[in-house]
Structure 1
């Protein structure tokens, strides 16, 4: 028993008398590995991911609709067929959700020209098409704006003169950039009305200098990605054939 106590005491004193070892970083070494087609693929990894890759490819390439022509975001000055289609599609898919949750209707849509990242090619339209048009994870939000914010929105469109996708807003200006006519859902803008405007989270947070969204009355997050809304809209349409119209024009 005494021997056990002696061993314990020796261990205890030895533990507390030991000096702590202090480690210091001496150097850092690194190596850059180029990811090129010269790297030899692992057959085991390839075999593991193959069924997942095939499933994703099949899903992305499933045909949802047909595009009557090839449409570009640059085929018009102040509005384009592709931009019009995208804005109208977002309105069509988002409004029922917003209506169900709030009992209110969306008044208009404003997206950004730069957010369209691809043409819409003539032929079959698939989920892959939606990912090409909108590769970002931008989500739909609805912003409640008063007349002074709507005025700022309209002045922004006139000042920038880019075909930002819009829906349910009609704007006509003259050669001096003065407003000839402006309407939302074919009605004059009222000073005492709250307008519910669909945009995406990037623009709401000031993207493309659209700062007027931040001075809002209320914000509604739909948890619905722009890309998913496009896919849902593709599924409902047999043939896509949008046009350039008079939703934003300049008369000179």
Structure 2
């Protein structure tokens, strides 16, 4: 009898165990959201003040563009590309200087990251969101001279107007590098250079692998779009220029 009771309990435990179940099929259907679906008036009334405030902020005029600026108005440099590289370097410099005591040598961004032109006329907060809809943040990577040479060669081979500042590149007719200067001086072997860029590129975006293994890396906790808005607030009329920073001879 003593042996029977444990065996009976074991039998009951297994017989009461739940049967294992697996998902055999998943079904879904598309529900179109159209004007025929009535809005919830209570929810609409609640969010209306917030919507109006956001719309007001987005349409606030910050600066003025003297001409249309877009990323195809030059071969290797563009007006909007030069603008973006310049303001990212300018706005990042005091933050980086305060943290590290060092200055920024170069700015490098990517042509594909510019998502809209800037039209001649008033510039609003909405303009910044149109040009830079991404949440990319600014980082400063300290590179060896070897990696700066790799950066220059990448730009020459890409034959694309990736925005740069602090760097001057002259290419031969066959797109080989004729001259590359950082702040007006040749790149020195054994020296390191600071490059301000986006976190996306620093992680190897657009195959910019030369940014991935920096000597040091400083994350500024500052979005490119916010830097753009801050810059627009400081200038009455933004510059629209091609200045020969990246040319083919």
Partner-residue secondary structure (3-state), 2:185: coil
1:124-161 Cα distance to aligned partner (Å, 9 max, x none) = 11111110000000000000101110010000000001
> Any idea what SS the aligned residue of 1:52 has?
helix
Distance between the aligned counterparts of 1:147 and 1:38, measured in 2? 62
**Shift in alpha-carbon separation, 1:54–1:153, aligned structure 2, 3 A:** same
Distance of aligned partners of 1:168 and 1:20 in 2 relative to their CA distance in 1, 3 Å threshold:
same
Residue equivalent to 1:192? 190
Shift of residue 211, structure 1, vs aligned partner? 0.7
Secondary structure in 2 aligned to 1:239?
coil
Give the whole-Å Cα distance in 2 for the aligned partners of 1:86 and 1:110: 10
1:108-133 per-position Cα deviation (integer Å, ceiling 9, x unaligned): 10000000000001111111111000
Give the superposition deviation at 1:215: 2.6
Structure 1 position 55 matched with structure 2 position 53: yes
SS at match of 1:124: strand
Query: Match of 2:35?
Result: 37
Q: In the alignment, which residue of structure 1 is the partner of 2:96?
A: 98
Superposition deviation, residue 32 in structure 1: 2.0
Question: Shift of the alpha carbon at 1:36?
Answer: 2.7
When the two structures are superposed, what TM-score results if normalisation uses the length of structure 2?
Answer: 0.90
Residues 81-132 of structure 1: per-residue CA shift (max 9 Å, x gap)? 1100010000110001000000000001000000000000111111111100
Q: Runs of 5+ in structure 1 lacking a partner? A: 1-15
The aligned residue for residue 166 of structure 2 is 168
Aligned-partner Cα distance in 2 for 1:173–1:28:
57
| Partner residue in 1 for 2:113 | 115
| Paired residues for 1:49-88 under 5 Å | 49-88=47-86
RMSD over aligned Cα, in angstroms? Answer: 1.8
CA drift at 1:22:
5.0
* Contact preservation (8 Å) 1:149, 1:215: no
1:215 counterpart (213, 220, 239): 213
By how many angstroms is 1:180 displaced? Answer: 2.3
Secondary structure class of the residue paired with 1:240? coil
State how many pairs are aligned.
237
Equivalent in the alignment of 2:147? 149
- Give TM-score, length-normalised by structure 1: 0.89
Tell me which residue corresponds to 1:125. Answer: 123
CA distance in 2, matches of 1:152, 1:64: 38
33-42 or 110-119, which moves further after superposition? 33-42
Q: Which has the larger radius of gyration?
A: 1
For 2:72 and 2:194, locate their aligned partners in 1 and report how far apart those are by CA, in whole Å: 28
- Residue 19 (structure 1) shift: 3.9
- Give, in angstroms, the shift of residue 184 of structure 1: 0.6
**Is 2:141–2:214's contact at 8 Å kept on the other side of the alignment?**
yes
